[in-house]
Structure 1
Amino acid sequence: MFFTLLHLFLTETMEKGEEKQGGMNGEEGATPGGGGRGGRELGLKSGMKRRHEEREDEEETSPTKKLVADHSKNVASHYNTLQEVGLAARSQSRIFYMRNFNNWLKSVLIGEILEQARGTGSRPVYVLDLGCGKGGDLLKWRRGGISHLVCADIAEVSVEQCQTRYEDMKRKSHAKEKIFSAQFITADCSKEVLSEKLDDPELMFDICSCQFVYHYSFESEQKADMMLRNACERLKPGGFFIGTTPDAYELVKRLEASDSLCFGNEVFKVSFQSKGSYPLFGCQYHFNLEGVVDVPEFLVYFPLFEHMAKRYNMRLVLKQRFSEFFEEKMKKEQHRSLMMKMMALEPFPCEDGGQLATDSTEEYSHAKERCGRPGVRPPVGTLSRSEWDATSIYLVFVFQKMS
């Protein structure tokens, strides 16, 4: 009953938020997964194409091409210096529930793709975690019963921490449990050929997972293509390339609705250098998420991403905004149960002696209104408005390798 209520509540909340805020989270009056995006998409598409053509003209007429800064080192440095904190500290974070929500979404995505990759049998499953970070998905691969994992990331310190996590997990596992084997690689996967660094040069993967990472590669066509090559060239026929990345349409929509070159709230901020035209590659913005991210990123123009993936014999099988993915997966009891287990939504009102993520009453006005409806038994599950605005800029994608 609790999760039925939170499902109804959260989807209705987002509908109301979009109606009030106009173009911020969607078209006026549109539901989170609704239609009506055609005009917006055409506007962004034409703007990106126009800017791309202008850039080509500039390069042809200019005696020297402009030098473009390489942001890979900045990204690596940021994640290398990001401090690892314990569970107690994370639970005090302003975005604790948002991070749990994102983690739940990844868990559902990875779990379902593992089922498809394994099929009806119990054959070995080999996985590439491209942009593995500190190893936040190691437990997901463990629960999925995979056979071998290759973890790769640009940040050396993160890879070291990922390997330490894996070794700790293996050491603490039960004697009868067979933990997957693993290789850990520090590499800039937007510049280096990953297959040349594999312990087994013949290794082929069933799944490549690229979570909250691919957008860094859209700094240039060369980088975006190399990242795709690393993700897809070693996939078996029928294998999957899955991931999460910001939705360029959503970011541009919010930028165009803003009176300045930035938008955000108390937990995140996105800043652009200009607006009105958007290059296909190198369309930079700065993303700041409280205590987690503070780096330059690049818009991923998805039709171009999909087109590029075809070079590696990949076809798009799923592309959904987080809100759409949430709505669909919450129909299954197993996913609702996992959401409760992972504390992916915040209970409102909180229990006696407890404290909400923020003292701002406006952040929970939607939850308060929901609790006041006839037949609703508090608490209901929610995210604060700021957390939802932050997580709703992302989308899920799944590509599959053609036979």
Structure 2
Amino acid sequence: MKRGYPGSPSSSGPPQSRLKHNPEGDGQFLEDETTKIFARKVADHYSARTNQTLEEREASPIIHLKKLNNWIKSVLIQLYARRGDAVLDLACGKGGDLIKWDKAKIGYYVGIDIAEGSIEDCRTRYNGDADHHQRRKKFTFPARLLCGDCFEVRLDKELAEEAPFDICSCQFAMHYSWSTEARARRALANISALLRPGGILIGTMPDANVIVRKLREAEGLTFGNSVYWIRFDEEYADKDAVDCPEWIVPFHVFKALAEEYDFELVFAKNSHQFVEEYLKKPEFVELMRRLGALGDGNQDQSTLSPDEWEVAYLYLAFVLRKRGQPDRTQQRTGRRDKGKMHIEKEDIMYIKS
């Protein structure tokens, strides 16, 4: 499958099982060379994406969709993050959620991303060298940044001294781990190993049920509208398309695999359902107004176009909880002295399998 819309990556084919779970848990999840090439392609794609000015961002044909996605992520963080929490942000990208975490008054942040360019942008954003129009003060929590493939390397080794974490976030990225069963298992093994009992995993990902339904209703292998398209194509023949491999994940399969790693489902909601439910709460209505996905209710009367709203239908939000009761005596016992309030280039840790 290839997916695209203005300013977005494209996508490709469903996951293929290559390795069964090792019941002894020795962590040896083997990769084939094709998978590693795909992972590098994803990294190169996101590293090459340039930062936009505020004016360029507002001119985007999907600006209200982006604001809606920010609202959904903000609601998830407000629902589940607690003051002083230690946060693990997988596929943190350019640090677009740093302000959200700051508003939640977290105590510690570790971000990891496969793309070197994105991690560098995250570093400058954390330090206050970017997005001056949004920043009024420095972030209140110490942070640490890692560059590596969090769906391939063993993060429990790299972050052993800082675990356990209270909450893990993986936004619009978990499906990248589903190129093989090995990577999907590594992703869940990493998160489970680093979260405390009772810890929370929040995320967003494509809604496979919706995508497959639209494919069945489409004439041929392509469907979309004025701001997005999806084409199921095994050959990637269109050299002009923005091409970044992705996979659709049937959520019941994801849930079943997550249960093997001590997770239980709290909820999974399509973005349309999520919006309908949480816009009934006054505090989230006000948040929506401030973010402007539906206009600000005053001078700005703009809102999502019908085509942007259709794109939102392609995604879902999910929350998983690690089984077990938190041991209050063990919380926040991890060493957090590796975190910095100002991150230099040499502070970024580069990890490889």
Q: Give the TM-score category using the shorter length.
A: 0.7 to 0.9
Shift of residue 84, structure 1, vs aligned partner:
0.5
Q: How does 1:86-125 map to 2 (within 5 A)?
A: 86-114=53-81, 118=82, 124-125=84-85
Instruction: Say if 1:400 and 1:188 are closer, same or farther in 2 by CA, change over 3 A.
Output: same
- Of 272, 277, 283, the residue aligned with 2:232 is 272
- Of 178, 181, 184, the residue aligned with 1:218 is 178
Shift of residue 148, structure 1, vs aligned partner:
0.3
CA distance in 2, matches of 1:178, 1:73: 31
Shift of residue 325, structure 1, vs aligned partner:
0.6
Deviating more after overlay: 159-168 vs 265-274: 265-274
Shift of residue 386, structure 1, vs aligned partner:
1.2
- RMSD over aligned Cα, in angstroms? 3.1
Q: Give, as a single letter, the amino acid of the residue that structure 2 aligns with 1:328.
A: E
Q: Give the share of equivalent positions with the same residue, in percent.
A: 39
Spell out, residue by residue over 1:262-308, the C-alpha distance to the aligned partner (whole angstroms, 9 max, x if none): 1111211111127xxxxxxxxx999xxx9xx7422101121111111
CA distance in 2, matches of 1:138, 1:211: 13
Contact 1:246–1:299 (CA<8 Å) still a contact in 2? yes
CA distance in 2, matches of 1:202, 1:91: 38
- Of 144, 148, 168, the residue aligned with 1:183 is 144
Q: Give, as a single letter, the amino acid of the residue that structure 2 aligns with 1:154.
A: I
Contact 2:47–2:116 (CA<8 Å) still a contact in 1? yes
Q: Could you say which structure has the higher helix fraction?
A: 1
CA distance in 1, matches of 2:136, 2:292: 24
SS at match of 2:320: strand
Matched, 1:398 2:319: yes
Greater length-normalized contact order (CA 8 Å, ≥ 6 residues apart): 2
Query: Unpaired runs of 5+ in structure 1?
Result: 1-47, 57-65, 275-283, 355-378
Shift of residue 347, structure 1, vs aligned partner:
7.6
- Of 191, 194, 207, the residue aligned with 2:155 is 194
Q: What TM-score, normalized to structure 2? A: 0.76
Moved over 2 A (4+): 66-70, 169-174, 195-198
Matched, 1:78 2:45: yes
Contact 2:102–2:139 (CA<8 Å) still a contact in 1? no
CA distance in 2, matches of 1:264, 1:179: 42
SS at match of 1:263: strand
Q: Give, as a single letter, the amino acid of the residue that structure 2 aligns with 1:389.
A: E
Instruction: Say if 1:343 and 1:285 are closer, same or farther in 2 by CA, change over 3 A.
Output: farther
CA distance in 2, matches of 1:202, 1:333: 37
Contact 1:285–1:296 (CA<8 Å) still a contact in 2? no
CA distance in 1, matches of 2:128, 2:68: 25
Shift of residue 67, structure 1, vs aligned partner:
7.6
Q: How does 1:191-340 map to 2 (within 5 A)?
A: 191-198=152-159, 201-273=161-233, 294-340=243-289
Shift of residue 202, structure 1, vs aligned partner:
4.5
Query: How many residues are treated as equivalent by the alignment?
Result: 293
Contact 1:187–1:194 (CA<8 Å) still a contact in 2? no
Q: What TM-score, normalized to structure 1? A: 0.67
Q: Give, as a single letter, the amino acid of the residue that structure 1 aligns with 2:80.
A: I
Matched, 1:157 2:114: no
Q: Give, as a single letter, the amino acid of the residue that structure 2 aligns with 1:394.
A: Y
Contact 2:91–2:171 (CA<8 Å) still a contact in 1? yes
SS at match of 2:105: coil
CA distance in 2, matches of 1:98, 1:136: 15
Shift of residue 201, structure 1, vs aligned partner:
2.0
Cross-structure match for 1:387 = 308
Contact 2:290–2:296 (CA<8 Å) still a contact in 1? no
